[in-house]
Amino acid sequence: MKNLTEEQLYAQLQNLTSNILDLDEEAMSQIQVRLDSLTKPQGSLGQLEHLAKQLGGIQRTSKPKIEKKAVLLMAGDHGVVEEGVSAFPQEVTPQMAYNIMNGGAAINVLSRQAKAEVFLTDVGIAFPIEGNINHKRVANGTKNMTKGPAMTRREALEALLVGAEVAEEKIREGYNLFATGELGIGNTTPSSAIVSILTDSAIEDVVGRGTGIDDAGVIRKRRAIEKAIEVNQPDKTDALDVLAKVGGLEIAAIAGSILQAAASHVPFVIDGFISTAGALIAAKLAPKSVAYMIPSHGSVEIGHRNALAGLGLDPILNLDMRLGEGTGAAITFYIVESALHILEEMATFADAGVSEKSE
Protein backbone atom coordinates (compact mmCIF):
# COMPACT_ATOMS: atom_id res chain seq x y z
CA MET A 1 0.00 0.00 0.00
CA LYS A 2 2.92 2.36 0.64
CA ASN A 3 3.64 2.40 -3.10
CA LEU A 4 0.10 3.38 -4.04
CA THR A 5 -1.14 6.92 -4.48
CA GLU A 6 -3.98 8.28 -2.37
CA GLU A 7 -6.21 8.09 -5.44
CA GLN A 8 -5.37 4.42 -5.91
CA LEU A 9 -6.08 3.69 -2.26
CA TYR A 10 -9.44 5.44 -2.52
CA ALA A 11 -10.25 3.45 -5.65
CA GLN A 12 -9.54 0.24 -3.70
CA LEU A 13 -11.94 1.36 -0.97
CA GLN A 14 -14.64 2.20 -3.52
CA ASN A 15 -14.20 -1.17 -5.18
CA LEU A 16 -14.56 -2.87 -1.79
CA THR A 17 -17.75 -1.02 -0.86
CA SER A 18 -19.28 -1.60 -4.30
CA ASN A 19 -19.10 -5.37 -3.69
CA ILE A 20 -21.37 -5.25 -0.63
CA LEU A 21 -24.78 -6.65 -1.59
CA ASP A 22 -28.20 -6.75 0.02
CA LEU A 23 -28.94 -9.91 2.00
CA ASP A 24 -30.38 -12.88 0.11
CA GLU A 25 -34.15 -12.58 0.55
CA GLU A 26 -34.86 -16.02 -0.91
CA ALA A 27 -32.61 -17.74 1.63
CA MET A 28 -34.22 -15.75 4.43
CA SER A 29 -37.71 -16.69 3.24
CA GLN A 30 -36.79 -20.37 3.20
CA ILE A 31 -35.43 -20.08 6.75
CA GLN A 32 -38.62 -18.36 7.86
CA VAL A 33 -40.66 -21.29 6.53
CA ARG A 34 -38.41 -23.70 8.43
CA LEU A 35 -38.66 -21.64 11.65
CA ASP A 36 -42.44 -21.51 11.39
CA SER A 37 -42.58 -25.30 11.09
CA LEU A 38 -40.63 -25.94 14.32
CA THR A 39 -42.31 -27.13 17.52
CA LYS A 40 -42.93 -23.72 19.08
CA PRO A 41 -45.32 -20.81 18.67
CA GLN A 42 -44.27 -18.76 15.64
CA GLY A 43 -41.76 -16.06 16.54
CA SER A 44 -41.46 -17.25 20.14
CA LEU A 45 -37.65 -17.48 20.02
CA GLY A 46 -37.39 -13.79 19.20
CA GLN A 47 -33.89 -12.62 18.38
CA LEU A 48 -32.67 -16.19 17.83
CA GLU A 49 -35.05 -16.46 14.90
CA HIS A 50 -33.95 -13.08 13.56
CA LEU A 51 -30.30 -14.14 13.82
CA ALA A 52 -30.94 -17.41 12.00
CA LYS A 53 -32.52 -15.52 9.11
CA GLN A 54 -29.81 -12.87 9.12
CA LEU A 55 -27.06 -15.50 8.96
CA GLY A 56 -28.81 -17.21 6.06
CA GLY A 57 -29.21 -13.92 4.24
CA ILE A 58 -25.55 -13.07 4.79
CA GLN A 59 -24.21 -16.47 3.70
CA ARG A 60 -26.83 -16.64 0.92
CA THR A 61 -28.04 -20.10 1.90
CA SER A 62 -31.00 -21.61 3.76
CA LYS A 63 -28.53 -23.75 5.70
CA PRO A 64 -25.96 -21.34 7.19
CA LYS A 65 -22.93 -22.80 8.99
CA ILE A 66 -20.29 -21.39 11.32
CA GLU A 67 -16.95 -23.02 10.58
CA LYS A 68 -14.30 -21.00 12.48
CA LYS A 69 -14.62 -17.95 14.71
CA ALA A 70 -12.12 -15.14 15.23
CA VAL A 71 -11.77 -11.91 17.17
CA LEU A 72 -10.00 -9.37 14.96
CA LEU A 73 -8.36 -7.14 17.56
CA MET A 74 -6.93 -3.87 16.21
CA ALA A 75 -4.44 -1.82 18.24
CA GLY A 76 -3.47 1.83 17.93
CA ASP A 77 -2.53 4.83 20.04
CA HIS A 78 -3.89 8.37 20.22
CA GLY A 79 -2.05 11.68 20.40
CA VAL A 80 -4.98 13.26 22.23
CA VAL A 81 -3.87 11.53 25.46
CA GLU A 82 -1.63 14.60 25.84
CA GLU A 83 -4.79 16.41 26.93
CA GLY A 84 -5.26 14.26 30.05
CA VAL A 85 -8.27 12.35 28.75
CA SER A 86 -7.27 8.93 30.10
CA ALA A 87 -6.70 7.49 33.57
CA PHE A 88 -3.80 5.40 32.22
CA PRO A 89 -0.57 6.37 30.45
CA GLN A 90 0.02 5.42 26.83
CA GLU A 91 2.61 2.83 27.89
CA VAL A 92 -0.30 0.59 28.90
CA THR A 93 -1.16 -0.09 25.24
CA PRO A 94 1.97 -2.17 24.50
CA GLN A 95 1.83 -3.72 27.98
CA MET A 96 -1.71 -4.93 27.33
CA ALA A 97 -0.70 -6.07 23.85
CA TYR A 98 1.90 -8.36 25.42
CA ASN A 99 -0.70 -9.59 27.91
CA ILE A 100 -3.01 -10.50 25.01
CA MET A 101 -0.16 -12.18 23.13
CA ASN A 102 0.54 -14.23 26.27
CA GLY A 103 -3.12 -15.25 26.55
CA GLY A 104 -3.77 -13.49 29.86
CA ALA A 105 -6.38 -10.87 28.97
CA ALA A 106 -10.15 -11.10 29.37
CA ILE A 107 -10.58 -11.45 25.62
CA ASN A 108 -8.28 -14.49 25.61
CA VAL A 109 -10.27 -16.16 28.38
CA LEU A 110 -13.66 -15.51 26.79
CA SER A 111 -12.46 -16.47 23.32
CA ARG A 112 -11.06 -19.77 24.59
CA GLN A 113 -14.45 -20.52 26.14
CA ALA A 114 -16.18 -19.70 22.86
CA LYS A 115 -13.66 -21.79 20.89
CA ALA A 116 -12.62 -18.69 18.97
CA GLU A 117 -9.15 -17.38 18.15
CA VAL A 118 -7.77 -13.92 18.83
CA PHE A 119 -5.70 -12.17 16.18
CA LEU A 120 -3.99 -8.96 17.30
CA THR A 121 -2.90 -6.43 14.68
CA ASP A 122 -0.65 -3.43 15.33
CA VAL A 123 -2.14 -0.72 13.13
CA GLY A 124 -0.44 2.11 14.99
CA ILE A 125 0.84 1.51 18.53
CA ALA A 126 3.04 4.46 19.53
CA PHE A 127 5.74 2.12 20.84
CA PRO A 128 6.64 -0.60 18.27
CA ILE A 129 6.61 -4.06 19.84
CA GLU A 130 7.77 -7.55 18.99
CA GLY A 131 6.15 -10.94 19.36
CA ASN A 132 3.15 -12.79 17.98
CA ILE A 133 1.43 -9.72 16.60
CA ASN A 134 0.41 -8.89 13.05
CA HIS A 135 2.62 -5.94 12.06
CA LYS A 136 0.67 -3.66 9.73
CA ARG A 137 1.65 -0.29 11.14
CA VAL A 138 0.42 2.81 9.37
CA ALA A 139 1.86 5.34 11.85
CA ASN A 140 3.20 5.62 15.40
CA GLY A 141 -0.24 6.47 16.72
CA THR A 142 -2.37 9.42 15.69
CA LYS A 143 -1.52 13.07 16.26
CA ASN A 144 -3.19 15.23 18.89
CA MET A 145 -6.52 16.04 17.26
CA THR A 146 -6.96 19.20 19.33
CA LYS A 147 -4.10 20.75 17.35
CA GLY A 148 -4.96 19.48 13.86
CA PRO A 149 -6.10 16.32 12.07
CA ALA A 150 -5.50 13.06 13.93
CA MET A 151 -4.12 11.63 10.69
CA THR A 152 -3.88 12.41 7.02
CA ARG A 153 -6.58 11.25 4.63
CA ARG A 154 -4.04 8.85 3.18
CA GLU A 155 -3.30 7.34 6.61
CA ALA A 156 -7.02 6.90 7.21
CA LEU A 157 -7.35 5.09 3.87
CA GLU A 158 -4.33 2.90 4.62
CA ALA A 159 -5.72 1.94 8.04
CA LEU A 160 -9.13 1.12 6.54
CA LEU A 161 -7.49 -1.12 3.95
CA VAL A 162 -5.26 -2.74 6.60
CA GLY A 163 -8.43 -3.83 8.38
CA ALA A 164 -9.84 -5.14 5.12
CA GLU A 165 -6.63 -7.03 4.43
CA VAL A 166 -6.65 -8.68 7.86
CA ALA A 167 -10.25 -9.82 7.41
CA GLU A 168 -9.57 -11.08 3.90
CA GLU A 169 -6.59 -13.14 5.12
CA LYS A 170 -8.70 -14.82 7.79
CA ILE A 171 -11.59 -15.46 5.41
CA ARG A 172 -9.17 -17.26 3.09
CA GLU A 173 -8.14 -19.39 6.09
CA GLY A 174 -11.74 -20.49 6.60
CA TYR A 175 -13.00 -18.13 9.32
CA ASN A 176 -16.60 -17.14 8.71
CA LEU A 177 -17.73 -15.44 11.92
CA PHE A 178 -15.84 -12.43 13.27
CA ALA A 179 -15.94 -10.21 16.32
CA THR A 180 -14.53 -6.71 16.50
CA GLY A 181 -11.94 -5.93 19.14
CA GLU A 182 -9.73 -2.95 19.95
CA LEU A 183 -6.81 -1.86 22.09
CA GLY A 184 -5.48 1.64 22.60
CA ILE A 185 -5.30 4.02 25.56
CA GLY A 186 -7.40 7.11 24.94
CA ASN A 187 -9.59 5.57 22.26
CA THR A 188 -12.94 6.47 23.82
CA THR A 189 -12.11 10.12 23.06
CA PRO A 190 -11.97 9.83 19.25
CA SER A 191 -14.88 7.38 19.44
CA SER A 192 -16.96 9.97 21.30
CA ALA A 193 -16.05 12.56 18.68
CA ILE A 194 -17.06 10.24 15.82
CA VAL A 195 -20.35 9.28 17.48
CA SER A 196 -21.19 12.89 18.30
CA ILE A 197 -20.61 14.00 14.71
CA LEU A 198 -22.19 11.08 12.86
CA THR A 199 -25.29 10.79 15.10
CA ASP A 200 -25.79 14.53 15.73
CA SER A 201 -25.45 13.92 19.46
CA ALA A 202 -24.45 16.52 22.02
CA ILE A 203 -20.91 15.93 23.28
CA GLU A 204 -22.09 15.58 26.90
CA ASP A 205 -24.38 12.74 25.79
CA VAL A 206 -21.56 10.63 24.35
CA VAL A 207 -18.58 11.26 26.64
CA GLY A 208 -18.12 8.71 29.43
CA ARG A 209 -15.41 7.81 31.91
CA GLY A 210 -13.49 5.44 29.65
CA THR A 211 -10.85 3.69 31.74
CA GLY A 212 -12.13 5.39 34.89
CA ILE A 213 -11.40 9.13 34.77
CA ASP A 214 -12.80 11.39 37.49
CA ASP A 215 -15.19 14.32 37.03
CA ALA A 216 -12.35 16.69 36.15
CA GLY A 217 -11.13 14.19 33.58
CA VAL A 218 -14.58 14.04 31.98
CA ILE A 219 -14.55 17.82 31.66
CA ARG A 220 -11.08 17.74 30.05
CA LYS A 221 -12.28 15.04 27.66
CA ARG A 222 -15.33 17.05 26.61
CA ARG A 223 -13.23 20.15 26.08
CA ALA A 224 -10.68 18.20 24.03
CA ILE A 225 -13.41 16.90 21.72
CA GLU A 226 -15.02 20.34 21.42
CA LYS A 227 -11.65 21.84 20.53
CA ALA A 228 -10.85 19.06 18.04
CA ILE A 229 -14.15 19.61 16.25
CA GLU A 230 -13.66 23.38 16.27
CA VAL A 231 -10.08 23.17 14.97
CA ASN A 232 -10.70 20.53 12.31
CA GLN A 233 -14.27 21.24 11.18
CA PRO A 234 -14.93 17.62 10.09
CA ASP A 235 -17.55 17.20 7.37
CA LYS A 236 -20.26 14.93 8.82
CA THR A 237 -21.37 13.98 5.30
CA ASP A 238 -17.90 12.57 4.57
CA ALA A 239 -17.05 9.62 6.85
CA LEU A 240 -13.47 9.52 5.61
CA ASP A 241 -13.01 13.19 6.56
CA VAL A 242 -14.44 12.56 10.03
CA LEU A 243 -12.22 9.50 10.47
CA ALA A 244 -9.06 11.33 9.42
CA LYS A 245 -9.66 14.44 11.49
CA VAL A 246 -10.92 13.02 14.80
CA GLY A 247 -10.62 9.23 14.48
CA GLY A 248 -8.08 6.53 15.23
CA LEU A 249 -6.01 4.04 13.30
CA GLU A 250 -7.55 1.02 15.05
CA ILE A 251 -11.04 2.48 14.59
CA ALA A 252 -10.33 2.76 10.86
CA ALA A 253 -9.09 -0.83 10.75
CA ILE A 254 -12.24 -2.03 12.49
CA ALA A 255 -14.34 -0.25 9.86
CA GLY A 256 -12.25 -1.76 7.05
CA SER A 257 -12.53 -5.27 8.43
CA ILE A 258 -16.32 -4.93 8.64
CA LEU A 259 -16.47 -3.76 5.02
CA GLN A 260 -14.37 -6.68 3.82
CA ALA A 261 -16.46 -9.18 5.77
CA ALA A 262 -19.65 -7.74 4.31
CA ALA A 263 -18.23 -7.90 0.78
CA SER A 264 -17.30 -11.55 1.44
CA HIS A 265 -20.72 -12.53 2.92
CA VAL A 266 -19.33 -13.00 6.44
CA PRO A 267 -21.18 -11.81 9.59
CA PHE A 268 -19.47 -9.52 12.08
CA VAL A 269 -20.37 -9.28 15.77
CA ILE A 270 -19.85 -5.69 16.91
CA ASP A 271 -18.42 -5.18 20.40
CA GLY A 272 -18.75 -2.03 22.51
CA PHE A 273 -18.36 1.72 22.17
CA ILE A 274 -15.11 1.96 20.21
CA SER A 275 -16.04 -0.89 17.90
CA THR A 276 -19.43 0.68 17.26
CA ALA A 277 -17.74 3.96 16.33
CA GLY A 278 -15.82 1.95 13.72
CA ALA A 279 -19.08 0.34 12.62
CA LEU A 280 -20.60 3.81 12.16
CA ILE A 281 -17.74 4.73 9.85
CA ALA A 282 -18.29 1.51 7.88
CA ALA A 283 -22.03 2.21 7.68
CA LYS A 284 -21.50 5.71 6.34
CA LEU A 285 -19.03 4.41 3.72
CA ALA A 286 -21.34 1.53 2.74
CA PRO A 287 -24.88 1.63 4.18
CA LYS A 288 -25.55 -1.98 3.12
CA SER A 289 -22.82 -3.17 5.50
CA VAL A 290 -25.16 -2.67 8.48
CA ALA A 291 -27.09 -5.80 7.46
CA TYR A 292 -23.93 -7.84 8.10
CA MET A 293 -23.48 -6.49 11.63
CA ILE A 294 -24.67 -8.32 14.74
CA PRO A 295 -24.78 -6.09 17.85
CA SER A 296 -23.44 -7.73 20.99
CA HIS A 297 -23.87 -5.89 24.30
CA GLY A 298 -24.92 -2.50 25.55
CA SER A 299 -21.81 -0.89 27.03
CA VAL A 300 -22.16 1.32 30.09
CA GLU A 301 -20.20 3.98 28.18
CA ILE A 302 -22.97 6.54 27.85
CA GLY A 303 -22.45 7.16 24.14
CA HIS A 304 -22.88 3.54 23.13
CA ARG A 305 -26.68 3.63 22.92
CA ASN A 306 -26.46 6.68 20.65
CA ALA A 307 -23.93 4.86 18.48
CA LEU A 308 -26.10 1.74 18.21
CA ALA A 309 -29.17 3.87 17.52
CA GLY A 310 -27.22 5.52 14.70
CA LEU A 311 -26.93 2.06 13.15
CA GLY A 312 -30.55 1.15 13.90
CA LEU A 313 -29.39 -1.71 16.14
CA ASP A 314 -30.32 -2.88 19.63
CA PRO A 315 -27.90 -4.78 21.89
CA ILE A 316 -28.52 -8.48 22.42
CA LEU A 317 -26.92 -8.51 25.90
CA ASN A 318 -26.82 -6.09 28.81
CA LEU A 319 -24.04 -7.06 31.21
CA ASP A 320 -22.86 -3.65 32.49
CA MET A 321 -19.57 -4.17 30.66
CA ARG A 322 -17.17 -1.50 29.37
CA LEU A 323 -13.85 -3.28 28.93
CA GLY A 324 -13.64 -3.42 25.15
CA GLU A 325 -11.13 -5.79 23.55
CA GLY A 326 -14.06 -7.63 21.93
CA THR A 327 -15.21 -9.17 25.21
CA GLY A 328 -18.94 -8.58 24.75
CA ALA A 329 -18.76 -9.78 21.15
CA ALA A 330 -16.98 -13.00 22.15
CA ILE A 331 -19.76 -13.82 24.61
CA THR A 332 -22.32 -13.17 21.87
CA PHE A 333 -20.75 -15.91 19.74
CA TYR A 334 -22.74 -18.33 21.93
CA ILE A 335 -26.01 -16.61 21.05
CA VAL A 336 -25.23 -16.62 17.34
CA GLU A 337 -24.44 -20.32 17.38
CA SER A 338 -27.55 -21.05 19.43
CA ALA A 339 -29.65 -19.59 16.60
CA LEU A 340 -28.13 -22.08 14.17
CA HIS A 341 -28.58 -25.01 16.56
CA ILE A 342 -32.28 -24.16 16.77
CA LEU A 343 -32.51 -24.04 12.98
CA GLU A 344 -30.63 -27.31 12.46
CA GLU A 345 -31.64 -29.50 15.38
CA MET A 346 -35.14 -28.60 16.51
CA ALA A 347 -37.94 -30.92 15.42
CA THR A 348 -40.80 -29.76 13.22
CA PHE A 349 -44.44 -30.34 14.16
CA ALA A 350 -44.56 -33.09 11.54
CA ASP A 351 -41.36 -34.76 12.78
CA ALA A 352 -42.51 -34.80 16.40
CA GLY A 353 -46.16 -35.62 15.79
CA VAL A 354 -47.20 -32.46 17.63
CA SER A 355 -50.47 -30.78 16.70
CA GLU A 356 -50.08 -27.32 15.22
CA LYS A 357 -51.97 -24.19 16.24
CA SER A 358 -55.71 -24.40 15.54
CA GLU A 359 -56.98 -22.13 12.78
Q: Rounded to whole angstroms, what are the CA distances from 271 to 31, 145, 275, 308?
A: 26, 25, 6, 11
Report the amino acid identity of residue 162: V
Backbone φ and ψ for 62, nearest 5 degrees, come out as -80, -5
Q: DSSP code of 150?
A: S
Ranges of H-type helices in the chain: 6-18, 25-37, 47-59, 92-101, 106-113, 153-172, 188-198, 215-232, 239-246, 249-263, 273-285, 304-311, 327-345, 349-352
3-state SS assignment for residue 39: coil
For residues 71, 77, 82, 87, the Cα torsion angle rounded to the nearest 10 degrees is 30
**How many residues are present in the chain?**
359
Residue closest to 48 by CA, chosen among 349, 316, 325: 316
Of the listed 49, 158, 182, 325, which one is catalytic?
325
> How do strand 268-270 and strand 117-124 relate by DSSP bridges?
unpaired
* 3-class state of residue 1 by DSSP: coil
CB-count exposure of residue 32 (10 Å: 0-12, 13-18, 19+): middle
Task: Please list, in sequence order, all residues whose beta carbon lies within 8 angstroms of the beta carbon of residue 116, skipping any fewer than 6 positions away.
Answer: 69, 70, 71, 179, 330, 333
Q: Give catalytic status of residue 91 as yes or no.
A: no
Residues noted as catalytic: 325
